[in-house]
Amino acid sequence: DQQVKQNSPSLSVQEGRISILNCDYTNSMFDYFLWYKKYPAEGPTFLISISSIKDKNEDGRFTVFLNKSAKHLSLHIVPSQPGDSAVYFCAATTGANSKLTFGKGITLSVRP
Amino acid sequence: ETGVTQTPRHLVMGMTNKKSLKCEQHLGHNAMYWYKQSAKKPLELMFVYSLEERVENNSVPSRFSPECPNSSHLFLHLHTLQPEDSALYLCASSQDIRRTDTQYFGPGTRLTVL
């Protein structure tokens, strides 16, 4: 059973608009969440993270929101740029170690 | 060479072959990981090494055998694989195994088992 779910396989957004990528989780023990981005033929690269003691973390155009009661997090990209077109993975971990549980990923396409 | 490198990038092998995947990190990290990404499935953690000691083995079949001779190199030895083992195998490294240590991924080896 998947503990981290990215239910939408793809998202298409116009350049300059906001991209909202969603992620849900089932394990209430998860307390640290990450987003990774992956271009074709490359490995995933870390984007942004959030601890469960926060509900928002911002880094430039990227903001992650965490709703613990709903077991839901989202990544907002604004403004979206064509270079943001990639696969975005949500990941979560529990406890002190780095064992990550990933979602299946969502393919974002930003149209010029 | 910088970051995390993996060789080969593509590999086709028969079920009776023995092959090895290689990963090298040039970041001075202490922890290294093997992940598997099958089609339409999430990345799955296979093994974790910290300071050359295996600290995690995620119920991986014995036909996959990891080796970490030093903190910069990680191998995945493959033997008598099955077609369902065809996948993208990703290596990663991090400073240590704390959850806040960012994992840096290599480009992966695309494995096809015939």
What is the reported pLDDT for B39?
87
* Mean pLDDT, residues B12-35 taken together: 94
pLDDT digits (tens, 9 = 90+) for A53-71: 999 999 999 999 999 999 9
3-state secondary structure of A84: helix
Check CB contact of A1 with chain B, cutoff 8 Å: no
What is the reported pLDDT for A3?
93
Nearest-CA distance B17 → chain A (Å): 25
Which residue in chain B is spatially nearest to A41 when comparing CA positions?
B107
Q: Between chains, do B92 and A2 touch, taking CB under 8 Å as contact?
A: no
Dihedral angle sign, alpha carbons of residues B37, B43, B44, B45: positive
Give the one of B43, B48, B106 whose C-beta lies nearest to A102's C-beta.
B43
Residues of A in contact with B90 (CB under 8 A): 43-44
Check CB contact of A96 with chain B, cutoff 8 Å: yes
Looking at the predicted structure, is the pLDDT value of residue B17 above 90?
A: no
Structure tokens at B113: 């088992």
Q: What proportion of chain B, given as a percentage, has pLDDT over 70?
A: 99
pLDDT digits (tens, 9 = 90+) for B68-85: 999 999 999 999 999 999
Q: Between chains, do A43 and B105 touch, taking CB under 8 Å as contact?
A: yes
Task: Categorize the per-residue pLDDT at B58 as very low, low, confident or very high, splitting at 50, 70 and 90.
Answer: confident
Burial of B97 (0-12, 13-18, 19+ CB in 10 A): buried
Nearest-CA distance B31 → chain A (Å): 10
What is the reported pLDDT for B1?
56
Mean pLDDT by 10 residues, chain A (112 residues): 90 98 95 95 94 96 97 98 97 85 96 94
What is the reported pLDDT for B56?
80
